[in-house]
Amino acid sequence: MADPAMKSTKGYRIPGEGSSFAISVVTVITLLALWWAATHLGWIRDLFLPTPEKIVTAFIDAMRGDIQGGKPLSEHFMWSLIRVFSAFFFAVVTAVPIGVAMGVSRVMRGIFDPPIEFYRPLPPLAYLPLIVIWFGIDETAKIVLIYLACFAPLAMAARAGVKSVTIEQINAAYSMGASRWQVIWHVILPAALPEILTGMRIAIGFGWTTLVAAEMVAATEGLGQMVLNASNFLRTDIVIMGIVVIGVVAYLFDLLMRLAEQWLVPWKGRV
């Protein structure tokens, strides 16, 4: 008998979302139980991994501003959101057009491919000193660093999306009298949209990953700065609390992007 949690898609079967969600919930509960057991039974010292209760207490203290620096968590959170999403917005409006141009033009590909492929594997900390020298230590340097982390995966995703368009689709549009720009706007971009949205999910993850490095640059507010400051005082509870907050926000945005995919590209995975 076929598994009801499986969906058929033209000859192959993929797992249903319901079964995956249930497994995820069980996994999270299991990890929390192991965490509670390891900390309460003394398997791990409190300095290395505080109890879940201490993380909750640290969260409450941070909301009140009762941590190093005296600034509430909401202020740190607001500054981090501004930095990450400002850089992400600028990356989307520049990297997607460049990626599409690389996909449709060998000239544009020849211009942009070498610099993108050169810096893409570099960790942000490698070029952080250059960013500081070029842009100073104000907000511009932080946003530029996160922007560069988001730019490469977005451009590569847009380029890959263009390559997924079949020549039959392009020729059909030309045969109906479409211009080059109409083909790009009405044929290439819609076909590339699934890859672009996937690139956006990857890019925002890189953005949050780079946040801590960006807030090393003379920052007094931000989740990354809060985590770094707490590590200097061996406040592992605040460090883990900050990591959890960053992870939860990034995960919620990823869920939002999944919903956007279902709305914008409902055909994805059904062809």
Identify the CATH number of the domain in which residue 223 sits: 1.10.3720.10
What is the structure's pLDDT at 112? 92
User: In the predicted model, is pLDDT for residue 34 greater than 70?
Assistant: yes
Write down the pLDDT at residue 111.
92
Helix or strand holding residue 15 (H, E): strand 12-15
The answer to whether 35 touches 244, Cβ cutoff 8 Å, is no
Q: Is the pLDDT of residue 13 over 60?
A: no
Residue 156 placed within a domain: yes
Q: What is the number of domains present in the chain?
A: 1
Does the structure show a pLDDT above 70 at 19?
no
Is residue 224 a contact partner of residue 128, using CB atoms and an 8 Å limit?
Answer: no
In this prediction, residue 153 carries a pLDDT of 92
Is the predicted pLDDT of residue 9 greater than 60, yes or no?
Answer: no
Check whether 2 has a pLDDT greater than 50: no
**Quick check: is 34 in a domain?**
no
What mean pLDDT, rounded, does the chain reach? 83
Calpha distance 14→6 (Å, rounded): 6
What pairing do the DSSP bridges indicate for beta strands 12-15 and 6-9? Answer: antiparallel
CB atoms within 10 A of CB 169: 14
- Does 205 have pLDDT greater than 80? yes
Mean pLDDT along residues 136-144: 88
188 confidence band (pLDDT: 50, 70, 90): confident
**pLDDT of 268:** 63
Q: Would you say residue 92 has pLDDT above 90?
A: yes
Single-letter residue type at 102: M
pLDDT value at position 86?
A: 93
Structure tokens at 241: 């609390």
Query: Which comes out higher in pLDDT, residue 268 or 199?
Result: 199
Give the residue numbers spanning the domain of 183.
62-264
Cβ 159 vs Cβ 102: under 8 Å: yes
Predicted local confidence at residue 234, as pLDDT: 84
Q: Is residue 23 part of a domain?
A: no
Residue 158 tokens, joined: 């847009």
Inside any domain, residue 5: no
Residue 10 lies inside a defined structural domain of this protein: no
List all residues 6 or more positions away from 71 whose beta carbon is below 8 Å from its beta carbon. 65, 220, 221
Can you give the pLDDT at residue 270? 56
Asked if residue 99 is part of any domain, the answer here is yes
Ranked by mean pLDDT, which of 79-93, 183-197, 204-218 comes out on top? 79-93
236 in any annotated domain: yes
What burial class does residue 200 get, using C-beta atoms within 10 Å of its C-beta: 0-12 exposed, 13-18 middle, 19+ buried? Answer: buried
The pLDDT tens digits of the residues spanning 248-267 come to 888 888 888 888 878 877 76
Confidence of residue 31 (pLDDT cuts 50, 70, 90): very high
Both tokens of 101, joined, read 């141009």
If pLDDT is split at 50, 70 and 90, which confidence band does 15 have? low
Q: What is the mean pLDDT of residues 68-91?
A: 88
% of the chain beyond a pLDDT of 70: 90
Residue 40 counted as domain residue? no
